[in-house]
Amino acid sequence: MSFNRPALVVLGSSTFFYVTAETLPVGLLPQISAGLHVTEAQVGLLLTSYAVVAALSTIPLTALTMRVPRHTLIAATVAIFAVSQAAATFAPTFAVLASARLLCALAHGVFWSVIGPIIARLAPPDQIGRATAMTFLGNSLAIVLGVPIGTALGQWLGWRVAVGSMAVGGVVCVALLLAVLPELPPLPRDMATRSGQQLRNAVRIMRDPRVARLCAVTAVLVIGHFAAYTYIAPLVRRDAGLDGAALSVLLLGYGAVGLLSNFVVGRYVDRHPGPVLLVLLSVHAASVALLAPVLGAVPTVLAALLWGGAFTAIPVFLGAAPMRVAPTARDAASAVYVVAFQIGIGGGAFVGERFVTAGGLGALPLLAALFAVAAGILVATSRTVFPFRISADDHHRVSAEAAAPH
């Protein structure tokens, strides 16, 4: 079996638009704030409300859609994304904008829950991690190109144009998904199980110590990251005086280094996930901590670039783990992982908003560093989740378990 590269590329393109749209308010805080007459802290809460809805809806909606063919389901989630972005483009008030994003959040959890198992069905057993890394280049490109270009476009032509471009991209992705994805019917065990049982399976999978460890690492790390990243615009404005076009260039550099690190470490996802993830977490913690004091333009830019390089590659290792630790319940494990990630995003954005409102902007980088260290300790003590070495035999054993009827 070889890679289905066209399908992986289109899936990666879909992740590009999903990630760009979800995090675009980070770069357009001032524009949305001024345009809809709300505070920057309130705009930051767009990420919190989005994440809360995604977290609450992921498991039940994933369970209810288990019998839907996977190629149809993934296209439907991207279609809902496109509709929601179109509605956000013309939102007359902040409440309407938030409501449009919440519609997207309902599809978000299902999209990210099924994409991992879909990737696993499009790649050889011993190269699922590599295929995940290839697809998740879309995530990195969202940070490299999507957010900075969207930020620049929003500053130039208005934030509505930037959001509207997301709707157009979503429509194109739906058409391509329908054209290139092979038929992916539900697996026999999914067809034989009612949605209520699937819901119970998703809840039960959280009791698996390995899945629980993965979720703990994810939530802890992402809470800290998004507490600081949601407010990167005011942080670099305070530390380095960067704003407007300079902010767009910094975000471009942040993502570019992330794309490079994604490419470099992607080859190790299937072989040495543990040690590489620990290195990334160490760099992440050190670099974000450097943003706490006001050190000037050059140190701030260098720290931000290292931060981008470390964090952007981390979700590749986290996203591949459910396929490995729960081979007989990949959809359920992926759904639970997505919930943990959304809890991290929502919790981080909320914590960040509380700190910013209380005048504690400068404390956010230290908080992010502390949470990264805690995540590193969890990874180091979770060898069954993030092994230091994985052999080809291990990959084939996991693949055999996934293929066996249950």
Report the C-alpha gap between 88 and 86 in whole angstroms. 5
Radius of gyration, alpha carbons of the chain? 20
Report the C-alpha gap between 13 and 21 in whole angstroms. 12
Residue 400 has pLDDT above 60, yes or no: no
pLDDT value of position 4: 78
Place of tokens 């992402």: 222
Q: Decide: 325 and 341 in contact? Cβ < 8 Å.
A: no
pLDDT in tens, 186-202: 765 554 455 555 556 66
Neighbours of 136 (CB within 10 A): 30
Contacts 24+ apart (CB under 8 A), 248-251: 248/27, 248/148, 248/149, 248/151, 248/152, 248/155, 249/148, 250/301, 250/304, 251/27, 251/143, 251/147, 251/148, 251/151
Output phi, psi for 301, to 5 deg: -65, -45
Neighbours of 24 (CB within 10 A): 25
Residue ranges of domains in the chain, CATH in brackets: 5-403 (1.20.1250.20)
Q: Which residue has the higher pLDDT, 55 or 351?
A: 351
pLDDT in tens, 96-151: 988 998 899 899 888 988 888 898 888 877 677 778 777 877 877 887 778 778 88
Report the C-alpha gap between 33 and 356 in whole angstroms. 15
Residue 313 has pLDDT above 80, yes or no: yes
Report the C-alpha gap between 296 and 241 in whole angstroms. 8
Q: Which residue has the higher pLDDT, 401 or 256?
A: 256
Residue 405 has pLDDT above 60, yes or no: no
Per the structure block, which two tokens stand in for 219? 């939530």
Q: Decide: 224 and 367 in contact? Cβ < 8 Å.
A: yes
Q: What average pLDDT does this structure show over 269-274? A: 80
403: pLDDT confidence band, cut at 50, 70 and 90? very low
Residue 25 has pLDDT above 70, yes or no: yes
pLDDT value of position 209: 86
pLDDT value of position 165: 94
Nearest Cα neighbor of 100 from 76, 73, 75, 81 is: 81
Output phi, psi for 181, to 5 deg: -75, 135
Per the structure block, which two tokens stand in for 322? 């459910």
pLDDT in tens, 280-309: 999 999 999 998 887 777 888 888 889 988
Q: Which residue has the higher pLDDT, 11 or 152?
A: 11
pLDDT value of position 368: 95
Q: What DSSP assignment string belongs to 246-305?
A: HHHHHHHHHHHHHHHHHHHHGGGTTT-HHHHHHHHHHHHHHHHHTTSS---HHHHHHHHH
Neighbours of 283 (CB within 10 A): 18
Percent of the chain's residues with pLDDT above 90 = 26
Torsion of CA 221, 223, 227, 232, to 10 degrees: 50
Nearest Cα neighbor of 72 from 193, 182, 194, 189 is: 182
pLDDT value of position 197: 59
Percent of the chain's residues with pLDDT above 70 = 88
Distance between the two ends of the chain, CA-based, in angstroms?
Answer: 23
Report the C-alpha gap between 390 and 100 in whole angstroms. 43
pLDDT in tens, 213-239: 999 999 999 999 989 988 887 888 877
Nearest Cα neighbor of 118 from 83, 59, 176, 75 is: 75
Note the residue count of the chain: 406
Contacts of 27 (CB under 8 A, 6+ apart): 147, 148, 150, 151, 154, 233, 247, 248, 251
Report the C-alpha gap between 97 and 89 in whole angstroms. 8
Residue 171 has pLDDT above 90, yes or no: yes
Q: What average pLDDT does this structure show over 62-66? A: 81
Q: Which residue has the higher pLDDT, 374 or 348?
A: 374
Q: What average pLDDT does this structure show over 63-78? A: 89
Report the C-alpha gap between 81 and 110 in whole angstroms. 11
pTM over 0.75: no
203: pLDDT confidence band, cut at 50, 70 and 90? low
